[in-house]
Structure 1
């Protein structure tokens, strides 16, 4: 076990990435009408924008958690963050519904690489008696992200366009 003298800065970086992942699972639903209009598609196709992300995110979680054990959680987190960030850019630049669905699946895979690593890193860098507050912050982040996603989505879609629900991830990921 490798506890760190000052683990809180690392935790804030992990929590920011985790926040971004969870916001992305809820932000798209408010943009569906504008995506349908912008990409000239129907509701059945637009539902796959969210479904592809959630499937690519949830299905590989056990495998990506194990990969973190094998290759190191920091390494996998950083790879996942890179994939997620680039896929976010790809989503925003998509000119067709098929391209957007594919980009969202890649984005979900990036999220799947990141998520299990957050808890693994917390257990490695915090002493056992200090993990409670760290896990509390991690859990609170999940709750806040689920509330912020639809609100932020509405603001971005109304103010800048549906593409910005994806572009907003790029500076955060970088």
Structure 2
């Protein structure tokens, strides 16, 4: 097992971390940086709980090697509310009841962020397609769709 120092940008902060060649991005974030919002559910990239953003794109951190994100901008759920104020997507999830047990929530919220950056006013088919890699066993998805619609409206109003 080979390890070496690598440079990452995590939640806007340059970080130097010693990682093993076979270490996953999820393990690096959780074990070495203490960013436990990235949850490992299935460990096979099919549930979405471990989703983080790498250069703005959703990535399954449980099946991505950490070294592959070297030099990239990595966003985790912890980076969305650095001053304790919920961002619009987090607030919408809370208000619509899209948060139940919370295990899948961080991955969903980060995917919604990526979606709304690309498509500010998505229709339901686009939302469903964008979130098809996520499994939530608690909410039944209607609340999640409502949260995405609410966040999109608020974010568009803030820009207008």
- The bucket for the TM-score relative to the shorter chain is under 0.3
Larger RCO, structure (CA 8 Å, separation 6 or more): 1
When normalised by structure 2's length, the TM-score is 0.23
When normalised by structure 1's length, the TM-score is 0.22
In terms of fraction of residues, the more helix-rich structure is 1
Larger Rg belongs to: 1
